[in-house]
Amino acid sequence: MDRIDPDIARFVEQMRQDWKQFPPFETMSFPEQRVAAEKVRARWTLGGPVMARTLERSFDPGAGELRVRVYRPLNDHSPLPALIYIHGGGFTLFSIDTHDRLMREYAARGGFVVVGVDYPLSPEAKYPTALNRIEGLMLWLRDNAGRWGIDPDRLAMGGDSAGGNLSFATCLRLRERGEPGLVKALLSNYGGFSATISDAAEARFGGPGSILHREEALGYWANYLRGPEDEDDPQACPLLADITGFPPCFLAVPELDLVAEHSLAMHDRLKQAGVEVECIVYPGALHSFLEAMSISALARRAIADGAAFVARRIGS
C-alpha cells in the first residue's frame, strides 16, 4: 500500500492492539461486536472541546424512536444553524458515543449546533428502517427545531461512511417529498455510496490486514440490504441516483481508502448535475481517519475544512 501518514498509522496500530483483548471479530455476535467496538473507540473520544450545553433525548419524531444528542457550542439563547450528523460503522456498528468528540469538534470549529443521531442498526433493522427514521427526524426539525434553539431554515446534514450514505439518501427522500430546500448543505466523510467495490480498489487498498477490505465492506452491505434487489435502489445506493437540485456538498476523501472511488465518482456525478461541490483528497489518510483527531494534524485539518464549508453555507 502507498505510504500512510505516520500519525494515522499510529492510530491504526493502537486500535489493532486494543482489539487483541477480544475474541476474533467474526466469532462474536453483533451485540458483542458493538460492545467491543465501543470499548476500542473509547480512548479516541476523550478530550476535545467543551460544549456550552449538551442535550440528550430518546423520542419518536414520526417514524420510530431515535436517540439524539444536541451539542450547543455557544452559551446564548439565539437560534443557531445546525448540522445533523449521522455516524458511520457499516450500518452495523458505532453510536453517538463513539463519535462524541468528532461531533463536538464540528460544533466548536463551525460555531453551529450539531445533532448526533443514533439510528437502528443492521442486520436487526434492515433498509429502509434507519432511513425512514432519519427522514422523520428532519421533518420534525422542520417544525420543531426551535425547541432545541435551532433555526429550521439553516439545517445541514452530514456523516461518515454509512452516515454519508444515509445523509445523501435522506436528501433524496426529502426532494421526493417536496422538501428539496430543507437541507442547505451536505457533508460526506468517506461516504459509501454503492454496494460494489472494484477489483482495483481491493488490490490497492484492501486485502488481509487492511483497515477495511472488500469482504468486510460487502458484509456490511449484506447486513443493511434486504436482498440483491436493493442494490439497484438509489435510496440505498445513492451513486445510482438523480442528484439534480442537491444542496452544496463537501466530500472528504482519504487517499488510501477502499471506498474513495465512491466519493470520486459521486464528485463527478454532482458536477455533471450542476451541484456546487468541494472535494478534497487527504494524502496518506485511511478510512475512519477522522477518529485520530487527538493525534493527527491531518484529521484535524479535514474536520476544520468540513466545518468551514458547512459554516459558510448555513452561517454561524
pLDDT at 316: 67
Percentage of the chain surpassing pLDDT 70?
99
Active site residue 100: no
Choice among 99, 100, 118, 161 that is catalytic:
161
pTM exceeding the 0.95 threshold for the entire prediction: yes
pLDDT digits (tens, 9 = 90+) for 34-72: 999 999 999 999 999 999 999 999 999 999 999 999 999
Q: Which residue has the cell 468486510?
A: 216
Active site residue 267: no
pLDDT digits (tens, 9 = 90+) for 223-277: 999 999 999 999 999 999 999 999 999 999 999 999 999 999 999 999 999 999 9
Is residue 2 scored above 80 in pLDDT?
no
Mean pLDDT in residue range 295-315: 97
Complete DSSP assignment for 64-85: S-EEEEEEE-SSS-S-EEEEEE
The answer to whether the beta carbons of residues 156 and 280 sit under 8 Å apart is: no
Choice among 87, 99, 267, 287 that is catalytic:
287
| Three cell numbers written together for 205 | 487498498
The answer to whether the beta carbons of residues 162 and 90 sit under 8 Å apart is: yes
3-state class of 156 per DSSP?
A: strand
Active site residue 161: yes
Mean pLDDT in residue range 88-110: 98
C-alpha to C-alpha distances, 291 to 101, 128, 201, 314, nearest whole angstrom: 8, 27, 22, 25
Choice among 100, 167, 257, 262 that is catalytic:
257
In angstroms, the CA 188 to CA 171 distance is 12
Nearest CA-CA partner of 192 in 265, 129, 121: 265
Mean pLDDT in residue range 59-86: 96
